[in-house]
């Protein structure tokens, strides 16, 4: 018995009867697992759903087969699951194949295991059932990509590879598994049964699935649907009749119904009917209702025959369906081709078609009409004969290239007209695709552009317009029918067909089946009336017209087509060309005049902006207008005492003018400023209204520029005065430094910048050095500059260093307009040591030139420019100035030059400063300014501060300091440093300091009792003989009795010094102190 | 004392011998503060040595402080003398003002 048990039966032994409940349970589990939230990404979710669907379908198909054939030991089981797998593989992209294969494998193995087959053979059957569809699908994908069983060639491929070859491979693998792993025998029989059962499964189920998506299925009408349903019913009933009633004759009815469904229902109908027949007969045979005993064959053989017969019937029906569909299609194509030919022959354009080899296979009548060449002569390569020989080679090459690359192309060349004249044409080719989607050659159109070429030569220079022209030669096409109202009056039209360019050109999408009035409610009526004449009166029309409702221009060719009331349109969007033409049609003279005026206006504005001052601008305006628009021009400030601001061509008396024009300059002055133009040359055309309108415009614009010059002049005067007043006069703040500064306003402009500098001594004896630049010009920036300078000097003693000071300073940058923005550089120099702390907020770095000529930029300690919202915590850096080093601080105007990078300007400054390093700072300032910005049009203000650190000071030491005790230590620091520099050594240096200190101390304590005022200290070194002078505004304090141990001061001075003179007067007290110091021992 | 100008180090041994070493500068701006600070240290001292050897600058205001401290020490029954290098400017100043004999310590008095 074992050898009689077929493989499907083995999967479903009798001991485990099939039941719906476990199946359903399994499927539910499967689906739950697959749709769990673990499927996070959409991709994963799609894959999971696909897996579930295919596994479920496969399991149902497989279990169906098992339930039919497993129970009573029939052979050659109809196996629908095979069709599921193959159809899925064909329909899905290759990337999804692993999911399909996994699903099928999983379902097969699961069903096998459920049906009591051991694990190893189950895996074997799983492999066989997945390799089988894989082989078939891979083969089909290679043979017929985009398989459509509605096409005969594709159907044949499907039958050979899908129905024949695939299941054969599966059968061999399955039988091997059966014999080797599952302990079975009769390899050939098992393989054959597998082959037929699976082949039928593929044919019925796969065919049905593929049939439903066939393009040949066509549009489904209700009638077709009813017809198909009827035929499927008849086929099914007849089949049932054969088996249950035993009326074998009914098999013919089944056959006829199958074929008829192929005819009428297409691929879908045939596939449906076939499926019905196959499932019913399988069910019948499985349930023992056979006619097999009638025929006298064994049940197993009988089933084989039945299934073979069904397969053949079904294949035939499908073939019929495919053949019918193909014929319908080719008839449709023929009709379309014919319509195209009619259209093409009537269209004004010359159309052509080439085949895959690039040979011309069609030329429209337009070609023959134009060139005089008969179509049959032009076919192949003959058309090249009428191409200008100068262009022929290029044209031929382009066509060859296009045929190789299958790319669209556009050509322009000269084409011989029937009268022998060569005309310029544009030839555009587009790839042509056959009904199967394969490339079939090119279709193209030739347009005579000679007429337009003159105008378009201008357009051609503009690439964009040239492209627009080319794009306009693709033609739109549509078929429409006129709609009449109850009275027979045309009121609308409906689109029946449209090509892909229709939407692009008209902007009307999905137009087919809709009325134009739905699509363009406010469409002009003349379109409907025009097309009604075409459609109803049989006129063919060619016209160019615009639709405001659509905002486009069209070149339209309209022709009536059958049946009555329909018309076809071939048209192109010529909006671009039309616009270009309208522009070109403008009178040449008008254009030239307009251009001249525009140029004059531009020139006037440009020229006036380059000149400063009211008088300058007025004068320039008059010069510009003569002789171009006038022989004489006068600009007058009206009022009780008229003042001539400018006159051209000068004061020379001119002949009496024959035409005048007067225009007001809007200068904003109390009195009107008038521009008077006059023509004296009798040859010149008198002024027209258009001229006067232009002069009014010109005068208004020029007036604004003159007005702004007036405002600027005023503002400039004030701002410059303010700026000068705000900048300090440099004082020698410390004997250890020489300081010189320059402020140079921008040359040749009325603007005043916000550049500033300041130098001051801090209470600790160090020196504050600052330069800055307030962005902007004029009064506001000058005011901001003043505020910043004051703030900096006020905050400097209370800050922790340059970085901190700049952080505090940013709040002062906010000008009245609230858009303050400034750069600044601040440095603190210790005159005793040369230690320089510095910080820069967006300001160009300072330059240090060492005495040996080495230069360095102080690039560290930099931060963003100052603005009100800037952050605190700006960095600072420290460097030490060598004795004799030159420190140069400046604003960007010094190193900025048009057409030169900042780096180049800084390089120049570096070179100039290196050369000048030994010169006095005043000379350095002058020379640097001259070298850097001298003799040039300075675009910006320049501030330059040069500081030389000189710890070897001049023979004199001068210092003015506030009369407070805390100042004394700083005075000593400065004096000590000076004395050291003079070479005074200990203990003489301290002795001298004590002597000076006593004098200063007394001046502080008693010279200024109110605590404010300055003490003046002056020390001179005359070859080691030091003489000091300390003066204050008070009287010398004489020793008092109650001062215990008092009077030491004067005693100390007298004891240390060689001479002490105290002179007290109304203006204060002066102490002279002399002391000789022995020459330093070398 | 930590003044930016002058600083004082005090060392008192078991016998009540106090050494006050002043470094930095003493002028009219910090004289009072220096004096106050020294007086504070001298409370428990019997013999005080005021070391001015490392003073960088001292003027008449400073000398007045020294005199005041001497008076303070003696009023409390103690002694005070100044230690300063004989060739230094402090010694010179004391000599000029006639305070040297009174203030300088015995070891430097010569």
Whether residue A787 contacts residue A812, with contact meaning beta carbons closer than 8 Å, is answered with yes
Q: Minimal Cα–Cα distance from B46 to chain A, Å?
A: 23
Residue of chain A nearest B90, judged by CA positions: A991
d(CA A888, CA A913): 8
Dihedral sign of CA atoms A1045, A1047, A1050, A1054 in order: negative
Give the pLDDT mean for A636-662: 76
Q: Minimal Cα–Cα distance from A1055 to chain B, Å?
A: 6
pLDDT at site A21 = 36
Out of A1001, A1046, A1055, name the one closest to residue B27 (CB): A1001
Give the pLDDT mean for A323-348: 69
pLDDT at site A848 = 95
Out of A991, A1004, A1048, name the one closest to residue B60 (CB): A1048
Range of weakest confidence among A349-358, A641-650, A951-960, B56-65: A951-960
User: Residue A784 — very low, low, confident or very high, per pLDDT cuts 50/70/90?
Assistant: confident
d(CA A367, CA A344): 10
Cβ separation of A990 and B5 shorter than 8 Å? no
Ranked by mean pLDDT, which of A74-78, A140-144, A787-791 comes out on top? A140-144
Give the pLDDT mean for A586-603: 67
d(CA A374, CA A397): 24
Can you give the three-state secondary structure of A481-522, one letter per residue?
A: EEEECCCCCEEEEEEEEECHHHHHHHCCCCCCCCEHHHHCCC
Range of weakest confidence among A214-223, A768-777, B83-92: A214-223
Cβ separation of A1052 and B93 shorter than 8 Å? yes
pLDDT at site A658 = 83
Residue A23 pLDDT > 60: no
- The pLDDT tens digits of the residues spanning A175-231 come to 888 888 777 777 887 888 888 888 888 888 888 888 777 655 555 567 878 888 888
Sheet with strand A1059-1065: strands edge to edge: A956-962, A1014-1022, A1025-1031, A1068-1076, A1059-1065
pLDDT at site A559 = 79
pLDDT at site A912 = 92
Out of A969, A972, A1001, name the one closest to residue B61 (CB): A1001
Q: Minimal Cα–Cα distance from A991 to chain B, Å?
A: 7
Which H or E element spans position A73? none
Residue B50 lies in a domain: yes
User: To the nearest whole number, what is the mean pLDDT of chain A?
Assistant: 77
The ipTM estimated for the assembled molecules is 0.90
| Higher per-residue pLDDT: A30 or A498 | A498
Residue A274 pLDDT > 50: yes
Out of B67, B68, B96, name the one closest to residue A1051 (CB): B96
pLDDT at site A581 = 63
CB neighbourhood size of A514 (10 A): 12
User: Residue A952 — very low, low, confident or very high, per pLDDT cuts 50/70/90?
Assistant: low
% of chain A exceeding 70 in pLDDT: 78
Cβ separation of A965 and B97 shorter than 8 Å? no
In the block, residue with structure tokens 């004395």: A979
CB neighbourhood size of A235 (10 A): 30
d(CA A954, CA A978): 9
- Contacts (Cβ under 8 Å, ≥6 apart) of A998: A1049, A1050, A1052, A1053, B59, B60
Cβ separation of B57 and A994 shorter than 8 Å? yes
User: Residue A669 — very low, low, confident or very high, per pLDDT cuts 50/70/90?
Assistant: low
Range of weakest confidence among A206-220, A400-414, A597-611, A677-691: A206-220
Residue A1066 pLDDT > 50: yes
Q: Which of A1045, A1053, A1077 to mutate to test the interface with B (most CBs of B within 10 A)?
A: A1045
pLDDT at site A392 = 87
Give the pLDDT mean for A557-565: 79
Residue B98 lies in a domain: yes
Range of weakest confidence among A96-105, A179-188, A224-233, B52-61: A179-188
Give the pLDDT mean for A979-1002: 88
d(CA A229, CA A531): 44
Whether residue A990 contacts residue B54, with contact meaning beta carbons closer than 8 Å, is answered with no
- List residues of B whose CB lies inside 8 A of any A CB: 5, 25, 27-29, 56-61, 63-64, 67-68, 71, 87-89, 92-93, 95-97, 99
Whether residue A577 contacts residue A468, with contact meaning beta carbons closer than 8 Å, is answered with yes
Residue B62 lies in a domain: yes
Residue A985 pLDDT > 90: no
Whether residue A845 contacts residue A826, with contact meaning beta carbons closer than 8 Å, is answered with no
Out of B59, B63, B96, name the one closest to residue A1001 (CB): B59
Nearest to A223 by CA among A212, A215, A231, A235: A231
Residue A730 pLDDT > 90: no
Instruction: Give the three-state DSSP class for A478.
Output: strand
Structural domain range at position B26: 6-109
Rg (CA), chain B: 13
B chain contacts of residue A990, beta-carbon cutoff 8 Å:
56-57, 89
Range of weakest confidence among A70-79, A270-279, B11-20: A70-79
Nearest to A160 by CA among A107, A193, A199, A188: A199
Out of B58, B89, B97, name the one closest to residue A987 (CB): B89
| Higher per-residue pLDDT: A891 or A729 | A891
- The pLDDT tens digits of the residues spanning A691-724 come to 888 888 788 778 777 777 776 666 666 666 666 6
Whether residue A1064 contacts residue A1006, with contact meaning beta carbons closer than 8 Å, is answered with no
Phi and psi angles of residue A670, each rounded to the nearest 5 degrees, phi first: -60, -40
Cβ separation of B5 and A969 shorter than 8 Å? yes
B chain contacts of residue A1056, beta-carbon cutoff 8 Å:
92, 96
| Phi-psi group of A834: left, alpha or beta (phi > 0 → left; psi -120 to 50 → alpha; rest → beta) | left
Residue A628 pLDDT > 60: yes
Q: Determine how β-strand A886-890 pairs with β-strand A847-849.
A: antiparallel
Residue A732 pLDDT > 60: no
| Higher per-residue pLDDT: A440 or A728 | A440
Helix axes A187-201, A81-91, angle to 10 degrees: 60
Range of weakest confidence among A38-52, A197-211, A1021-1035, B89-103: A38-52
% of chain A exceeding 90 in pLDDT: 6
CB neighbourhood size of A1008 (10 A): 19
The dihedral formed by the CA atoms of A772, A774, A776 and A779, expressed in degrees to the nearest 10: -110
Q: What is the CATH number of the domain that holds B36?
A: 3.30.750.24
- The pLDDT tens digits of the residues spanning A1000-1054 come to 988 887 765 555 578 888 898 887 888 999 988 665 555 443 343 457 888 899 8
Whether residue A924 contacts residue A916, with contact meaning beta carbons closer than 8 Å, is answered with yes
Can you give the three-state secondary structure of A228-264, one letter per residue?
A: HHHHHHHHHHHHHHHHHHCCCCHHHHHHHHHHHHHHH
Which H or E element spans position A187? helix A187-201
Residue B1 lies in a domain: no
Residue A361 pLDDT > 70: yes
How many contacts (CB atoms, under 8 Å) link A and B?
73
Residue B33 lies in a domain: yes
Residue A459 pLDDT > 60: no
pLDDT at site A13 = 36
Query: Token digits for A428?
Result: 């555009």
In the block, residue with structure tokens 């603190």: A828
> Which whole-number Å values give the CA distances from A354 to A39, A185, A413, A499, A762, in the listed order?
53, 63, 18, 21, 94
Cβ separation of A965 and B27 shorter than 8 Å? yes
CA A195 to the chain's CA centroid: 60
pLDDT at site B106 = 57
Concatenating the DSSP letter of every residue in A511-560 gives: -TTSBHHHHSTT--HHHHHHHHHHHHH---EEEEEEETTTTEEEEEEEEE
pLDDT at site A900 = 78
| Higher per-residue pLDDT: A20 or A309 | A309
Rg (CA), chain A: 53
Q: Minimal Cα–Cα distance from B72 to chain A, Å?
A: 13
pLDDT at site A501 = 74
Cβ-defined contacts of A913-918 (< 8 Å, 24+): A913/A847, A913/A849, A913/A855, A913/A886, A913/A888, A914/A849, A914/A853, A914/A855, A916/A886, A917/A849, A917/A850, A917/A851, A917/A853, A917/A886, A918/A851
| Helices of type H across A544-663 | 575-585, 588-610, 614-625
Range of weakest confidence among A299-313, A581-595, A641-655, A792-806: A581-595
Sheet with strand A541-547: strands edge to edge: A490-498, A476-484, A566-573, A552-561, A541-547
Give the pLDDT mean for A541-557: 77
d(CA A329, CA A454): 47
In the block, residue with structure tokens 């306003």: A745
pLDDT at site A887 = 94
Query: Token digits for A515?
Result: 């009325």
Number of domains in chain B: 1
pLDDT at site A564 = 83
Give helix then strand counts, H and E, for chain B: 5, 5
Nearest to A663 by CA among A654, A655, A672, A651: A672
Instruction: Give the three-state DSSP class for B37.
Output: helix
Residue A957 pLDDT > 60: yes
């Amino acid at each position: 018995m074992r050898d009689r048990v077929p493989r499907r039966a083995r999967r479903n032994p009798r001991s485990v009867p099939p039941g719906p409940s476990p199946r359903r349970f399994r499927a539910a589990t499967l689906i739950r697992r697959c749709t769990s939230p673990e499927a996070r990404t959409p991709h994963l979710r799609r894959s999971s759903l696909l897996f579930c669907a295919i596994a479920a379908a496969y399991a149902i198909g497989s279990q169906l087969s098992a339930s039919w054939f497993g129970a009573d030991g029939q052979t050659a089981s109809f196996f629908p699951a095979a069709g599921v797998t193959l159809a899925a593989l064909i329909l899905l992209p290759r990337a999804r194949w692993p999911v399909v294969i996994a699903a099928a494998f999983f379902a097969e193995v699961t069903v096998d295991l459920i049906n009591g087959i051991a694990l190893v053979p189950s895996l074997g059957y799983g492999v066989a059932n997945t390799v089988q569809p894989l082989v078939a699908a891979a083969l089909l994908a290679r043979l017929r990509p985009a398989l459509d069983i509605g096409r005969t060639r594709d159907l044949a491929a499907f039958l050979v590879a899908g129905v024949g070859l695939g299941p054969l491979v599966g059968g061999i693998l399955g039988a091997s598994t059966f014999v080797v792993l599952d302990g079975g025998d009769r390899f050939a029989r098992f393989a054959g049964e597998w082959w037929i059962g699976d082949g039928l499964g593929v044919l019925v189920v796969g065919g049905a699935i593929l049939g439903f998506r066939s393009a040949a299925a066509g549009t489904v009408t209700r009638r077709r649907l009813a017809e198909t349903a009827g035929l499927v019913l008849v086929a099914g009933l007849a089949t049932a009749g054969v088996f249950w009633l035993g009326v074998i004759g009914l098999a013919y009815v089944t056959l006829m119904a199958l074929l008829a469904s192929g005819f009428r229902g297409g691929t879908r109908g045939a596939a449906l009917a076939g499926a019905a027949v196959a499932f019913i007969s399988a069910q019948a045979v499985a349930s023992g209702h056979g006619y097999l005993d009638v025929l006298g064959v064994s049940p197993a053989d009988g089933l084989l025959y039945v299934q073979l017969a069904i397969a053949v019937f079904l294949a035939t029906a499908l073939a019929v369906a495919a053949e019918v569909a193909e014929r319908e299609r080719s008839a449709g194509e023929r009709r379309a081709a014919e319509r195209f030919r009619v259209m093409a022959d009537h269209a004004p354009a010359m159309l052509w078609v080439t085949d895959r080899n690039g040979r011309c296979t069609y030329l429209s009548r337009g070609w023959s009409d134009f060139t005089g060449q008969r179509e049959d002569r032009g076919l192949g390569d003959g058309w090249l004969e009428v191409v200008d020989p100068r262009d022929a080679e290029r044209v031929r090459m382009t066509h060859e290239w296009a045929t190789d690359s299958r790319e669209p192309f556009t050509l322009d060349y000269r084409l011989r007209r029937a009268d022998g004249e060569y005309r310029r044409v544009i030839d555009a080719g587009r790839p042509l695709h056959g009904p199967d989607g394969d490339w079939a050659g090119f279709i193209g159109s030739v347009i005579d552009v000679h007429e337009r070429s003159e105008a378009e030569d201008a357009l051609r220079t503009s690439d964009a317009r040239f492209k627009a022209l080319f794009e306009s030669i693709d033609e739109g096409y549509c078929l429409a029918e006129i709609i009449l109202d109850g009275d027979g009056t045309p009121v609308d039209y409906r689109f029946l067909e449209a090509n892909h360019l229709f939407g692009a050109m008209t902007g009307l999408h999905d137009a087919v089946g809709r009325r134009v009035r739905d699509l363009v409610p406010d469409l002009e009526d003349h379109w409907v009336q025009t097309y009604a004449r075409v459609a109803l009166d049989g006129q063919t029309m060619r016209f160019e017209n615009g639709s405001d409702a659509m905002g486009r221009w069209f070149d339209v060719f309209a022709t009536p087509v059958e049946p009555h009331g329909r018309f076809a349109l071939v048209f192109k969007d010529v909006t671009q060309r039309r616009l270009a033409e309208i522009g070109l049609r403008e009178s040449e003279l008008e254009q030239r005049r307009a251009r001249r005026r525009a140029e004059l206006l531009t020139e006037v504005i440009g020229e006036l902006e380059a000149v400063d001052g009211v008088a300058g601008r007025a004068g320039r305006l008059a010069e510009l207008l003569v002789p171009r628009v006038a022989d004489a021009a006068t600009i007058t400030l009206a009022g009780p005492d008229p003042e001539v601001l400018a006159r051209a061509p000068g004061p020379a008396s001119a002949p009496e003018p024959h035409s005048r024009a007067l225009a007001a300059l809007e200068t904003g002055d109390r009195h009107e400023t008038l521009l008077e133009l006059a023509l004296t040359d009798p040859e010149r055309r008198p002024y027209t209204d258009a001229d006067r309108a232009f002069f009014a415009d010109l005068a208004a614009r020029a007036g604004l520029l003159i007005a702004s010059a007036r405002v600027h002049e005023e503002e400039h005067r004030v701002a410059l005065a303010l700026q000068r007043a705000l900048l300090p006069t440099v004082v020698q703040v410390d004997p250890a430094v020489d300081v010189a500064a320059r402020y140079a306003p921008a040359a040749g402009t009325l603007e005043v910048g916000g550049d500033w500098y300041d130098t001051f001594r801090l209470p600790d004896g160090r020196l504050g050095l600052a330069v800055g630049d307030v962005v902007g010009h004029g009064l506001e920036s000058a005011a901001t500059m003043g505020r910043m300078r004051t703030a900096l000097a006020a905050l400097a003693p209370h800050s922790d260093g340059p970085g901190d000071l700049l952080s505090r300073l940013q709040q002062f940058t906010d000008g009245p307009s609230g858009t303050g923005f400034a750069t600044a550089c601040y440095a603190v120099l210790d005159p005793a040591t040369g230690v320089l702390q510095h910080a820069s907020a967006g300001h160009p770095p300072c330059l240090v030139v060492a005495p040996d000529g080495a230069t360095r930029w102080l690039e560290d300690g930099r931060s963003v420019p100052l603005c009100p919202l800037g952050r605190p915590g700006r960095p600072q850096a420290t460097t030490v100035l060598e004795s004799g080093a030159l420190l140069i601080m400046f604003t960007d105007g010094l190193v900025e030059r048009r057409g030169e990078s900042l780096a180049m300007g800084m390089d120049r400054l570096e070179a100039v400063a290196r050369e000048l390093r030994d010169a006095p700072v005043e000379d350095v300032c002058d020379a640097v300014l001259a070298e850097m910005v001298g003799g040039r049009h300075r675009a910006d203000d320049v501030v330059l501060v040069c500081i030389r650190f000189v710890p070897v000071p001049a023979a004199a030491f001068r210092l003015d300091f506030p009369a407070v005790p805390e100042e004394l230590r700083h005075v000593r620091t400065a004096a000590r440093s000076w004395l050291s520099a003079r070479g005074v050594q200990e203990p003489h240096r301290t002795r001298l300091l004590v002597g000076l200190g006593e004098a200063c101390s007394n001046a502080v304590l008693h010279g200024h009792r109110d605590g404010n005022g300055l003490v003046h200290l002056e020390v001179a070194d005359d070859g080691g003989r030091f003489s000091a002078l300390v003066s204050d505004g008070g009287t010398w304090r004489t020793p008092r009795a109650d001062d215990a141990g008092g009077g030491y001061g004067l005693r100390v001075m007298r004891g240390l010094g060689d001479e002490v003179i105290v002179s007290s007067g109304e203006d204060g007290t002066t102490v002279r102190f002399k002391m000789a110091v022995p020459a330093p021992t070398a | 004392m930590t003044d930016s100008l002058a600083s004082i180090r005090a060392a008192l041994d078991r016998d009540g011998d106090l050494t006050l070493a002043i470094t930095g500068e003493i002028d009219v701006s910090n004289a009072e503060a220096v004096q106050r600070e020294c007086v504070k240290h001298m409370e428990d001292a019997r013999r005080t040595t005021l070391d001015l050897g490392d003073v960088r600058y001292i003027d008449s205001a400073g000398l007045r402080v020294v005199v005041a401290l001497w008076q303070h020490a003696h009023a409390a029954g103690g002694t005070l003398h100044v230690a300063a290098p004989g060739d230094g400017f402090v010694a010179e100043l004391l000599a000029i003002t006639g305070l040297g004999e009174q203030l300088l310590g015995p070891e430097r008095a010569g």
